[in-house]
Structure 1
Amino acid sequence: MIKKKLGFIGTGVMGKSMAKHLLLSGYPLYIYNRTKTKAQELLDLGASWCESPAELAEQADIILTIIGEPKDVEEVYLGAGGILPNSRPGQMVIDMTTSKPSLAKKIYERAKERGVHALDAPVSGGDIGAKEGTLAIMVGGDREAFQAARPILDIIGENIVYQGGPGAGQHTKMCNQIAIASNMIGVCEAMLYAHKAGLDQETVLKSISTGAAGSWSLSQLAPRMIKQDYKPGFYIKHFIKDMRIALEEAERMDLPLPGLEKAKEMYGQLAAKGEQDSGTQALIKYWNE
């Protein structure tokens, strides 16, 4: 069976690993990234380079994107040189960026006008999940499109759940980020408490990471805190963007989220001091300031 041609835009910390899984699964892969050097590993493995989102849209049957800010998503999808103005009926687009639910709905409607299927499918699992192909994927859009995309999503993720109509994937990702935000404060405080109490932090983790306090952040990011490894599996600047979107959506719902507000404030202070490109585990530096 001839495999569909895939397009991938955004070969950053997570995107590069996701695209690599698709390429090694035997799919013809077309790549676009603002910085070509970040895609070089994929090009060396046989991916084809495109000079613009428009060129990529002309080549691929299914296009996946994982970019940065909502404004970047809007430009890539809806700008004159973007995907949808240069699309054709029958194509599918899957935006895996964490972005605004309202923008996901807008892209869905524009895609529908062009006869293109659109899904919003943000992911969770950081650089580790991307490398291991075990990402959680939260999907919004038409169920039929989700079912058609499932073989592709299965290559890069494990916990893949259809959440509902357009924007539902993005709303679910906001729930994910809200849960992580306050939890990260707790993880930092637990590690600091262990240190101040004279305990071995790694030994403490062996006990608490598998009990009621267990979480992905505790298991995967607390060890990085202990080692003072602040390399980004997920950038602070991107987490701040996600928290901002969640707070904007919550305000529309008249829903106060004090835990999220506090986490955003703390991360904002770190970013202002030059930590915006550090991983989210660098929150523990807040107590060192």
Structure 2
Amino acid sequence: MLRLARGPLTKILQARLLSADSASLKTKKVGIIGLGNIGNALIKNLERTGYTVTSILDIDKERYGEFEDRAFSKPDNAKSLAEEVDIVFTGLPMPHHVKAVFEGETGLLEGLSEGKIWIDHSTTDYEQTEEMCVQVEERGGRMLEAPVTGGLEALKKGQMTVFIAGNEGVAEEVRPMMDDIYSNVIYTGRIGTALIPKVLSNMLTCVHNLAMGEAFMIAKKSGVDMKTMFDCIRASAGNSFVLETGGPMLMQGTYDPSFTIALQCKDNRLGYQMATKHKVPIEILGHAMQAYNKALYKYGDEAPCYIPPKMLEEACRTDLRCEEFKDWEYSIQNVDGSSVIRHHGIDIKRSDKKELSDFEV
């Protein structure tokens, strides 16, 4: 994509170029490997914005059921899928899953011939990603890492943020597509650099979640209404993305079932590996990591990611439920590069109608 100098017509010209680039990308054949939460939503967001998904692949064939009405090719392996398409997206749970898809005679690498692009949405080991990128480029293919953040509900609506790393020219080439299917696109630099902020951001959510649970428990034990407590923290310096999303899920008793604690603990381990490599002590993050491990062992791999405060609820013999949040849900608005939460299904102080219309979905 061409870069334009600043000037009176810059925005108009940029819009025209982006439109042209987007139209060109919409003629490309796209394949998706991994039909979990990310892959499933990715297919729908690509189709919703006019892109051409032609091929899908997952080891769990039951996941094909939702797409029976589409004329998707379902090749036997990653190599065959890559041979069929121009752009491959992967969204896989763990580093070893990415490696298994990538390697071998029928692996993804074997199908990434000259000019093909692989975009990996998996949150995985950044050093493994760096090694894979070298192999892809040796075959003439191109690779970008592109972890996403913001939560499943935001992903379904195309409201998530995506971090992109890799060759800047390749990133610019697919930028119009990423702008269409995500609300915020941030280029972080060379391959490997996108996974670092993604993993560390996920580790920070653990700290916020644990502290939030303690704060709400103190408030409830002190006789403060939970909805009032939520409103007060939202309006003060203690607010955070986690409080605005995880707080209502805590008060629903759902603890965010869209992301498992096993996946969160995997991200914590990746962050610990980074800290160890660079000799950074992590007293706070390390404490949160151990608290999450304790919850993982207690509640199991499939428990929801915000469940650690449940241990406090059980210890205090007090739950943090609040009836006013039973119908709550949220959406995300990108405002000045920040993810702003919009609440639905609860009584909450709103902006005036004119201002609110700019943000409502």
TM-score, normalised with respect to structure 1: 0.94
1:149-196 Cα shifts (integer Å, max 9, x gaps) = 112212331221110101011112123123222111112112222221
Tell me which residue corresponds to 1:106.
Answer: 131
Query: Does the CA contact (< 8 Å) of 1:270 and 1:276 recur in 2?
Result: no
- Does residue 24 (structure 1) correspond to residue 52 (structure 2)? The answer is no
SS at match of 1:163: strand
CA drift of 1:230 comes to: 3.4
CA drift of 1:228 comes to: 0.6
CA drift of 1:224 comes to: 1.0
* 1:211 alignment partner AA: S
Query: Does the CA contact (< 8 Å) of 1:181 and 1:259 recur in 2?
Result: no
C-alpha distance in 2 between matches for 1:86 and 1:3: 20
Tell me which residue corresponds to 1:144.
Answer: 169
Query: Does the CA contact (< 8 Å) of 1:16 and 1:39 recur in 2?
Result: no
* 1:203 alignment partner AA: T
1:219-245 Cα shifts (integer Å, max 9, x gaps) = 111101101113522111001000001
C-alpha distance in 2 between matches for 1:272 and 1:73: 25
1:169 to 186, 194, 203: 194
Against the structure 1 CA distance between its residues 254 and 25, is the aligned structure 2 distance closer, same or farther, given a 3 Å change threshold? same
* 2:42 alignment partner AA: M
Against the structure 1 CA distance between its residues 168 and 198, is the aligned structure 2 distance closer, same or farther, given a 3 Å change threshold? same
2:60 to 32, 35, 39: 35
Tell me which residue corresponds to 1:220.
Answer: 245
Identity within the alignment, %? 27
CA drift of 1:23 comes to: 2.2
SS at match of 2:123: coil
Query: Does the CA contact (< 8 Å) of 2:154 and 2:160 recur in 1?
Result: yes
2:277 to 252, 258, 263: 252
SS at match of 2:128: helix
Matches within 5 A, 1:76-155: 76-155=101-180
* 2:51 alignment partner AA: Y
C-alpha distance in 2 between matches for 1:182 and 1:62: 37
Query: Does the CA contact (< 8 Å) of 1:78 and 1:107 recur in 2?
Result: no
CA drift of 1:250 comes to: 0.6
C-alpha distance in 2 between matches for 1:13 and 1:250: 29
1:107-144 Cα shifts (integer Å, max 9, x gaps) = 11011101111011111112122112111111110110
Higher Rg: 2
TM-score, normalised with respect to structure 2: 0.76
Against the structure 1 CA distance between its residues 185 and 21, is the aligned structure 2 distance closer, same or farther, given a 3 Å change threshold? same
RMSD of aligned Cα (Å): 1.7
Query: Does the CA contact (< 8 Å) of 1:231 and 1:278 recur in 2?
Result: no
Tell me which residue corresponds to 2:207.
Answer: 182
Tell me which residue corresponds to 1:64.
Answer: 89
Against the structure 1 CA distance between its residues 185 and 95, is the aligned structure 2 distance closer, same or farther, given a 3 Å change threshold? same
CA drift of 1:7 comes to: 0.9
User: Once structures 1 and 2 are overlaid, which stretch shifts more, 162-171 or 207-216?
Assistant: 207-216
Ranges in structure 2 where 5+ consecutive residues have no aligned partner: 1-22, 316-361
CA drift of 1:45 comes to: 4.4
Query: Does the CA contact (< 8 Å) of 1:5 and 1:28 recur in 2?
Result: yes
Tell me which residue corresponds to 2:234.
Answer: 209
C-alpha distance in 1 between matches for 2:46 and 2:240: 28
Alignment coverage as a number of residue pairs: 289
C-alpha distance in 2 between matches for 1:210 and 1:154: 31
Query: Does the CA contact (< 8 Å) of 2:246 and 2:256 recur in 1?
Result: no
* 2:299 alignment partner AA: G
